[in-house]
Structure 1
Amino acid sequence: MVMSVRMAPDLPLIVFLLIHSASSADWGVSYNHSQICALKNSSVMMNCMYTYPTGYQIRNVSWTKNPVKGVEPPDLSEDPEYSQRLQYLGDKQQNCTIRLSHVTQKDENEFCFRFIADKHNSFNFMNIKNWFGASKSTTDVTWIGTPGVTLTVTDLQVESPERVTEGDSVCLTCKSTCALTDGATFIWYRNSQPLTERRDRNNQLLLQSVRREDAGRYSCALHGHTYISPAVHLNVTYPPKEALVVVVSPSGEIVEGNSMTLSCSSDSNPPAEISWFKGGTTVGSGRIYSILNISSDHSGEYKCKSSNEHGNKYSDAVTLNVMYPPRSFSVSISPSGEIVEGDSVTLNCSSDSNPPAEISWFKGRTFVASGRIYRISKIRSDHSGEYKCKSSNELGKKYSAVNLNVEYPPKNVSVSLNGSGKIVEGDSVTLICSSDSNPPAEISWFKGGTFVGSGRIYSISKIKSDHSGVYKCKSINEHGEKHSNAVTLNVMYPPRSISMSISSSGEIVEGDSVTLSCSSDSNPPAEISWFKGSKFVGSGRIYSISKISSDHSGQYKCKSINEHGNKYSDAVTLNVIYPPKSVLVSISPCGEIKEGDSVTLNCSSDSNPPAEISWFKGGTFLGSGRIYIISKISSDHSGEYKCKSRYKHGEKYSDAVTLNIMYAPKNISVSISPSGEIKEGDSVTLSCSSDSNPPAEISWFKGGMIVRSARIYSISKISSDHSGEYKCKSRNKHGEKYSDAVTLNVTYPPKRVSVSISPSGEIKEGNSVTLSCSSDSNPPAEISWFKGGMIVGSGRIYSISKISSGHSGEYKCKSSNKHGDKYADAVTLHVMYAPKNISVSISPSGEIKEGDSVTLSCSSDSNPPAEISWFKGGMIVRSARIYSISKISSDHSGEYKCKSRNKHGEKYSDAVTLNVTYPPKRVSVSISPSGEIKEEIQ
C-alpha cells in the first residue's frame, strides 16, 4: 500500500500520525480477486472493500489503472475510454465495487482503488514536508490499494481435429487464454444452432462414435454471454454406403442400336471413385456409364463399386435386357439323309431374337403349324415340297426355306394301248407303261412270264398271230417294284387247223399269266368260244388268264366258229400250282393287351401244295407252325409280328400286326446337362427318361414340392436357391413311378458376409471377446480376419481373451472361395478401461516467477475419456484437463496433482511442486522520534 499524507504544522497532528503509522492496519483496500480472467465483450465486477481510521472523512473516491510511483494517477471516470463503461457501485464508507462492461484486450491492466480522506486540526507542523506533497493548513490522506486487480481478457477458441473417421471418438475443447474467474457454463453450437447446454464447468464436447451427421461448423460460448467463438469445421469421413444404380436413359424397353446410360449414386466422404462391372468384369469408371449403339452382347447384369480410402460398396445389380429382331436364322431336317415314304421327319427352326420369336410353318403359302419343331410322322409323297418357317417378334420377322424330297416305291402302275379296235395281223401296236415313283423307276415288259423288252414304250411292228398273248409291265426302283395289270393282244385271222395250246407248257403257278390259244385257220377271223368243262368261259382265239389262281384249275377246250361251221379242239387240263396267298394273322384276345396277359397269334394261308409257316418279329425268326403263343406277355414283346407262308414255288408274308403292350412306367432316370460343376448364373437342363405305354405324364419335384410338369425342366441363370434334390415322377393309367433323386449343387462366391460381437454390450478391459463371421457361399469359404488393413487371424471365430485397450479398433472378415471373395462391413471394438498412465506437465518448465502465466496439463489414458480434477494439497481447485494460472502469485506455490476418473475407476498422478519466486513487497513508512521519515520494504 502507498499512503500519501498532507500535514499542518500543529504538534498534535504529528502525534496522531505517528500513532496511525504504527497502526497501519486501520488503512487499507481489499479485493475479492487479485486476478480476473474475463471473456471478451463481457461485464466484469471488481469487488472491493476499504478501511480508514476513525475521525477521518472520505472526501474523494476513484479508480485508476497501472499506477506509477510519483505520478498523479488518472481518474478512470474522467477517461473517455472508460467513462461510459465503468460504473461505481460502492459508497464513501467502505464498499468500493465497480462494474466494467464491454471489456476488450485493451482493458488488460492493473486496476486500483484510490480514496482521499481528511481531518481538520488546529495544530501546525511547518518544518515537515511529506514526500507526497507540501503541508497545508489541513491534512489530506490519499490511499491507493496496490497491488490492485489484474484484468486479463480472453476470447474463446475451439480446438478440434480437422478430419475424423466415422465411428471415432472426438473431443472438442473450448479454450481460453486464461482461466475464467466466473463459474463458466459452456454452450456448444453446430452450424449456428445450439447443440447442448453444459453446466458442469466442463469445456469439452465429447462425440462418441462420431456419425456423418455430426459434421459441421462448431463454436462455443458461455452461458449468459453474447460472445461466440469463431466456428471450426469438423469433417467426418466415412466409407461409401448405399450405392445405387439408376437407368437414366432410356427408362423403358431397350432396343438394339439405341444408346444406354447408367448412373451410379453413392454417399461417402471423401467422394468415392466409381467403377462399373458387367458380371465380374470391369467395363468402365465414373458416375455415368454410357453405351452407344447397344447390341445383344451388352445384355447382362451391371453394378457399380463405390470406393474411397475407408472402404468400398457394391450396388445391387441391374439387368440390361437388350431387345432385337430375329437373326442367325436356319432350318434343319432330321433325319438329314434320304427321306423315304413312311419315315418320321422333324423340321427344326432355330432363331436368335429377344424377345423370343413366334415360329410359324408354311408349305408353299399354306400355314401348316406353329412352334420351333414341326413333326411329320409316316411321311407321304404328297408331303414333298418347299417348307419355310417364319420367325417374328415385335421388332421384325424373317423367313427361311428348305425342300422336302420324299422318295417312294412305284405305285399306280398301268399299261395303255395305243390305238383301239381290232388288231389285225400286220398292224403296228404300241404299249405304254405309266408309273408314279421317286426316284423314277426302270420299266420291264413281259408277255406272259417272259421278259420281252424295257423302257416306258414297247412297240410291235407288223404284228403276227404269234404276238397274241397277255402283256404287262413291271416298274422298279431302289425302294420296291410293282406290276401293272395285264393287257391282252388278240390278233385276228380266219379259222384253220383248230388246235389249242397252253402258253405255259409246264407247271402252272398261281400268279402266272396263262394263255390258252385256240388256233384256227379262218378268214374272216373266226369267233372262238372257250369252255371249261361244259361251261362257256369266254370267246376269242386267245383265252388269257393273267395272274392265274387256283379257281382256274380244270379241263379247257375251244370252239372255232365261223359262218361255215364250228369245231372243238381237244381238251386240255389246267392244274394251277399257287404259292401261299390270303396270308393273314389274327390276334386273340382282340382287345387291349396288358403286360402279363397270354396272347395267341394264328396264321391262315391258302396254297397248293400246302405251305410251311414261319413267325417273325421285325426281322427276327421266332418259330414255326400255324399257332404262336406268348404266355405272360411283357413290354419287351411289343412290336410288329408277321408270318411267312412258304413252299418251293414261292412264299408270302402276312401283313404285319402290331402288339401294343400296355404297361406302367419303369426305368425312370434323370440326367443333368451340363454334367460337371454348376455355377450360379449357368443354364441347367434336367431330363426325365421313362419307359411306359401309353406314354407317361412327367412331373418334377424339388424336395416334396412339385415344380414343373414336362419331360424337360430347364433353369436359366441358376441361383443358389435352386440347390437341392430333384426327382421326376412318371405316371400313366397303369401306374406311376419316381426316379432316384439327383442333387443340384450350385456353387457361388461369398455373399451376405457379416460380423457379430459377443458379448454384444459394453466391453471392458480384461473381458473375453469373440468375433463371429457369417458367410453364405458354395463351396464353403475360407475366413480371414483384419484389424485395419492387417490380417490378424483365420477361421469363422476370432477370439480375444483378456482384452486390452490395444485391441480397440475396426475389425472385419474376408470370406473367400474359388469363385470370389467379399469383405464384411467393419465393426469397431471400443475397449473400456479405468484411467492409467496419469502424469502432470508444467509449462513453462523452468523457474516460475510471480506474475508469469503457468499451465498445468494432466494427461490420462482411459475409455471413456476421464473427468480431470486438480488438487492443491488435499483441496480441489479446478475440474478440467488444463489448469491455467495467469499472473501467478506466491499464494499459488505448493504441491499439485490431478485425479483422472471414469465409471471404471480413478487414479491420481504423482504430485508436482509449484515454487513461485517473487521480489520483496509490503513497503511501510514510519517517522522516527527525531522526525526522520523512513521507508521499509518487507
Structure 2
Amino acid sequence: MVPPSLLTEMRGAAMSLTAAASGLVVFLLSVSVVQGVHDWGVSYSPTEICAAKGSTVEIRCNFTYPSTWRGSVNTVEKTFWFTKWKDGVHVDLTTVSEYAGRVEDLCENNTCTLRIRNLTESDSAEYKFKFETNQGGKYSGSPGVTLSVSNLQVTSGTNRLYCQSSCHQYSYPSYIWYKNGQSIQGETADYTSNPNNADSYSCALKGYEDFPSPPVYAPKPPSVSVSPSAEIEEGSSVTLTCSSDANPAASYTWYKKNGNQKRPPLTTEPQLVFSSIQSSDSGQYFCKAENELGKITSKVNSVDVKYPPKLPSVSVSPSAEIEEGSSVTLTCSSDANPAANYTWYKEDEDSPKASGQIFTITDFRAEHSGSYSCGAQNKLGRSNSTFHLSVVAGSSTMIVNIIRMTLGVLMLIPVFLLGLWTRKKKALRSTTEACEPVEIELDSIPEYENVSHTAAQTEDRE
C-alpha cells in the first residue's frame, strides 16, 4: 500500500513535467509507484494475541522504507505504537497515562517490539505501529495486532468444569487444568470431574502457566458472628452473619434447631436480623453455605436472650383454708433471665419478711392475716405480685369453744329444772284447790228436779 502523502507528492511531480517528455513522465511515474509499493511497509506477526491478565505481552512488527526518497537519503527519525487517535493525530502509547510505567518501545534493525507489563482487561485493543522519516514520509501498517487480555474463570456444570476466556472470539488457545495446584489435564477448555468439598480447580492458558485462573472450590465450614457480641437483651437489635470461603461465592440459608424436627428456612440471606429480639427467639441457630461444587452447614450457635422478671405467680400450701396454728408455705415463681431473686413483704411493714423463693409461716395466727407481696428481681428489672392471707378457726379452738358451750349448757340445766319444778308446783296447787267439793242443791235447778228426787228415793230404798 502506497501512503496517500506519497501519492500526492508523486502526482505533483508528474504535473510539473513538460508535454514533450511525456514518455519519460510515464516511466518515472511507474518507477515511483513500484518503489512506493515495495519499499514502504509494516508487517505484524502474529496478528492475534491472547494473553492472561497480569502477564506481560510482546507485540512485534517489521517495517521497510526506501533508502532514498525525493532525491535524498531517507532515514527513520521516529517510531511509536498507538491504539487511538486524538484530535486527528495518532497518540504515542508511551505518553498515555493508562500505560505509564508499563510499556516499552524497543526497535532494532527495522524490527520493533511493544512490551506491555501487568496486563489489564482494558488493555484489550488493536495495536498499530507507525514510523516517520526525515523526508516527511509517514507509514503505519493496517490492520494491526488484536490483543485480547483474558481474565480466566472456571465455571461449573453437571460433573463438568469450564475454563472461560474472552480469547475465543479471536483464537482457540490451549488450556492447562490444575487440581489442588497440580497439573492434571491440558488442551481443552472443559474438564470432566466429580469434585468434593476438599478439592480446588483452576485453569491457565498454555504459555501463561504462571497466571492461572482463581481456583474454584466448595464452601469451607461457615463461621457465624453475632452483633452486638455483648449480652443480648430483649427488645434490642441483633444480627447473625454467616460467612464461608467459597468460589464461586456461596449462597446462605438460616435455620433454627428444634430437636430432631426439620424446620423451614428462616431466610436465604447471609444475615439473620432481629430488629426487636424477644425471649421466644432464644434457641440454637445454624446456617448452610452452598455453591455449585458443594454445601456444608455451620456449627450450632446458641442465642440467649436476657429479660427482666415477668409477673410472679404465688402458690400456697396447703391450698385449703388456713387454720390457726397450722404451717403455711408460700412459693413465688417468675420467668426471668437471668434467674430472679425473691423478697417477701407484708403490707404496712418496711422490712422484708423473708428472702428466697419459698416463705414458710410455721404457726399461723390471726395477726398473720393480711396482704403480702412477692418481689422478683434481676439486674434488668423487677416485678411484684400481691395476695391476701386470712385465718379460720382451727380444730383445737373449736373443741375449746364446744367445751365452753357444753359447760354453759350444763350450768343452765339446774336452773332450768328448778324453774320447771316451781312452775309444776304452782300448777299442782292450782289444780288441788279447784278440786275441793261444793254443795249444789239440784232442786234449785229446774232441769234436775225429778233427778234429785229419784236419787233421794233410790237412796231411801237402800
**Greater Rg by CA:** 1
Name the one with the larger helix percent: 2
TM-score by length of 2: 0.49
TM-score by length of 1: 0.26
The higher-RCO structure (CA 8 Å, 6+ apart) is 2
Name the one with the larger strand percent: 1
